[in-house]
Amino acid sequence: MLYINEINEVFVDCDEYAVFGSGPMAIRNIRKNRDLDIIVTFEKWKQMRKTHDKYLCPTKSCIRIKHMTITPTWPGLKRKDVDEIILEAEIIQNIRFAGLRHVVEYKKILKRPKDIIDIRLINQSAK
């Protein structure tokens, strides 16, 4: 998995975040990742906005550090969905990764061509 070391440079407590998007697929050797999408608890987000303000993206809806995009939500997800994903995430190598069920649910909402391919890859890996 690419860039996994960057997570430990920013996060200490794995209960405050979960790797989302392609990261959960990469850690399970389903496909490679090009970046890291990380969802955080609202409390962690408030803290990070203060301590990492120079990394805020122009819309102020995310923080970008190296290869990571960090956000308290994701398009199509409600706050309670993010909290559930973090709570149910699997800890691998001391890092919290969203479950593939949540990744598939999210990719079904987006329905981009790459999401359809990812869903197929996840389903094939489960066989």
Q: How far apart are CA 67 and CA 78, in angstroms?
A: 24
| pLDDT tens readout for residues 10-40 | 999 889 999 999 999 999 999 999 999 999 9
Q: Which domains does the chain have, with CATH numbers?
A: 4-125 (3.30.460)
Q: How far apart are CA 69 and CA 78, in angstroms?
A: 18
Q: Compute the average pLDDT of residues 43-67.
A: 94
How confident is residue 50, by pLDDT bands cut at 50, 70 and 90? Answer: very high
Q: How far apart are CA 38 and CA 127, in angstroms?
A: 27
Sheet of 63-65: strand order equals 63-65, 68-71, 36-40, 17-20, 95-97, 90-92
Asked whether the beta carbons of 33 and 57 are under 8 A apart, the reply is no
